[in-house]
Amino acid sequence: MRILSIGAGAISGYYGACLLRGGRDVTFQVRPRRAAQLAQGGLRVKAEEGDFSVPARTVAPGEVRTPFDLIIVGTKSYGLNEAMDQFAPAVGPNSIVMPILNGLAHFEILSRRFGADKVMGCAAQLSVAMDGDGVLTRVWNNTLQYGELAGGTSDRVRALYDVLSVPGLTVEAHEDIMHVLWQKFVQVGISAGVTGMMRGSIGEILAAGGKDLILGGLAECQAIATAAGNPPSQAFIEGYKEWLKTAQGSPIKASLLRDIERGAPTESEHIIGDLTARARALGVATPILDIARVHLAVYEISRRAREANGP
C-alpha cells in the first residue's frame, strides 16, 4: 500500500516514522524547510522505549501527480483547504483519506470535496512535541483509532489494520468511530479550552486552584456531545475526573497552546468555535467555552495585527 502523509509535523511525523520503521511505503508532502530537515537527518523520534531515526522520502506541495492508496492528512485545520488542492491528484477511485486532525468539522469538509466514501474516521490518541530542529518527542500515548464514518466494518478497515500495525503504534479498529470521535472532541475541547485560555499546563492550572474550571469545561463539553446524540461513556467521564486527582504537576497542554507559545496560528475556531456553534444550535449553555473562544479570538486578532504591522 502506497501511503502519502500530508505533513511531517508532530503527529503525522510520528505516525509516519513508525510506519517507515515497520517497512511501509511512505512519502511525505512537506514544505521546503521541513524537507531540508528530513534530507539532513531523517525523521528523528524520542520515545520511552527507545529513540530512533528513519530516512524519509519527500515531495513538495502540488507535485503529487498519481493516486496513493492511503492519504494521511496531518495538516492544521486552517491549512486544510490549501492542502486539499495540493493533494487532490493523490485521491484515486480506491484511495482512502484518513485525517488525523482534532475536532469534527474536517470530516464534512473532506467528504464534500472527495466524497464521504473516501474518508475514514480517525482519532489520534497521542501527544508529541516537535522542537525547532524537527526532532519529535512522544509525550503521551501512541494509539490510533479508526473506522468507517457510517459505522460497521469493511474489507478496507481490515486491510488498514494490517498496514498500520507496526512497532510503536497501538491500532484500534472501531465499528462506532463517531462515538470515539465525539469522546475525543470532548477531551480536546477541555484541554484546548482551559489550557489555551489560561496559558498554562493542566498541572499549572490545578496548582492555581483551577480544578472547578476544568470540571466545568468537562461538563459543558459532555452536555454538547450528549445533545448531539453521542454522549461520552460514564467510564470516560469518571476516568477523567480520577485522572485530575493525580494530575498535580502534569505538563500536559493542548497543541493549541503550544502554537500560541510560539506565536503561530491556532485551531481555536476549528475546535472551540465549532463546539460553541454546535452548542448554540443545540440549545446548550457553555459560559466557560464561550469565554475561552473570545479569549482565543483576541489572540488571533492580535497575532494577525502583529504580522500585518511587521516587527
Which of residues 131, 150, 175 is at a domain's end? 175
Domain match, 170 and 187 both: no
CB burial class (10 A; 0-12, 13-18, 19+) of residue 146?
Answer: buried
Share of the chain above pLDDT 70, in %: 100
Question: CA-based Rg of the chain, rounded to a whole angstrom?
Answer: 19
Question: In the predicted model, is pLDDT for residue 126 greater than 90?
Answer: no
CATH code of the domain covering residue 50: 3.40.50.720
Question: In the predicted model, is pLDDT for residue 148 greater than 80?
Answer: yes
Domain match, 82 and 186 both: no
Domain match, 157 and 244 both: no
Domain count, the chain: 2
| Contacts (Cβ under 8 Å, ≥6 apart) of 102 | 77, 124, 184, 185, 188, 192, 255, 267, 270, 271
Domain match, 186 and 230 both: yes
Domain match, 21 and 151 both: yes
Domain match, 231 and 114 both: no
Domain match, 126 and 268 both: no
Q: Binning pLDDT at 50, 70 and 90, where does residue 255 land?
A: confident
Return the number of other C-beta atoms located less than 10 Å from residue 145's C-beta: 19
Buried-exposed string 276-294: b where 16+ CB fall within 10 A, e elsewhere = bebbeeeebebebbbebbe
Return the number of other C-beta atoms located less than 10 Å from residue 23's C-beta: 8
Q: Binning pLDDT at 50, 70 and 90, where does residue 68 land?
A: very high
What would the mean pLDDT of 270-298 be, rounded to a whole number?
Answer: 98
Domain match, 12 and 138 both: yes
Which of residues 141, 175, 209 is at a domain's end? 175
pLDDT, one tens digit per residue, over 160-205 is 999 999 999 999 999 999 999 999 999 999 999 999 999 999 999 9
Q: What is the pTM of this model?
A: 0.92
Which of residues 175, 204, 230 is at a domain's end? 175
Domain match, 237 and 150 both: no
Domain hosting residue 292, numbered range:
180-309
CATH code of the domain covering residue 199: 1.10.1040.10
Domain match, 38 and 140 both: yes
Domain match, 234 and 134 both: no
Domain match, 95 and 184 both: no
What would the mean pLDDT of 30-53 be, rounded to a whole number?
Answer: 94
Q: Whole-number mean pLDDT of the chain?
A: 95
